[in-house]
Homo-oligomer: A and B are copies of this chain.
Amino acid sequence: MDIGIALFDRVTALDAVGPYEVLQRLPGAQLKFVGHEKGEVRTDNGFLGLTVDHTFDELPSPEIIVVPGGIGTRALVHDQVILDWIRGAHETSKYTTSVCTGSLLLAAAGILDGLDATTHFSARQLLTKYGAKPVEDRVVRQGKIFTAAGVSSGIDMALELAEQLTDSTTAKALQLMIEYDPQPPHDAGALHKVGPAVLARMQELAALRN
């Protein structure tokens, strides 16, 4: 079972690595990192290099596709190579998925027209622009399409997907293997859970990075 995870310059690493870390442990899964050209891409901040092992041309029809987000998606909504790959792969995929602003690319490819979808909370308006209906859930399923919210949510999405592909015992075993027993020091991981001071600080930090 080929699982194609898209990589591109200025990708957010955890968007891709969260689902990868769950799905690579499925029996028979072949995880393949795919992009425009083989070789290294750098993450959103440039701090980390990740390797593209397969071009989009070489992997036209994986059983599952995962499209991560990152600031790099803003240019890619006009890139016909990745949009054609998403459209083509989606025709025969068992599941088509995105994490964070990866859903902007699914939407720009036309496969979210009129459908509920999620993305990083800061990008909900952008999702509307490309024809999807943003909702606030962490993982949104519409038929064979799963979209997940910001960055870390790909782990939850992948566990749901793993259960669809196998059974609940296996999904729990995968969760145990990665010891996903979250204990964040605060309950501040969603917009509706924080006050204006935290939101303002987040916006300051985001402005420093971009």
Q: A residues touching B (Cβ–Cβ < 8 Å)?
A: 12-14, 17-18, 20-21, 24-25, 27, 30-33, 40, 45, 47-51, 53, 100, 120-121, 138-139, 149-153, 155-156, 159-160, 163, 168-191, 193-194, 197-199, 201-202, 204-206, 208-209
Contact = CB atoms under 8 A, between A and B. Distances in A.
B49 A50 contact: yes
Contacts of A27: 205, 208
Nearest to A199: B176
Contacts of A138: 179, 181, 183
How many copies of this protein are present in the complex?
Answer: 2
A179 B150 contact: yes
A169 B47 contact: no
25 contacts: A12-B21, A13-B20, A24-B47, A27-B205, A27-B208, A33-B48, A33-B49, A48-B51, A49-B50, A49-B51, A50-B50, A50-B51, A151-B180, A152-B155, A152-B178, A168-B186, A169-B198, A169-B201, A173-B202, A175-B184, A176-B190, A176-B202, A181-B187, A182-B182, A182-B184
B178 A151 contact: yes
A76 B111 CA distance: 46
A20 B47 contact: yes
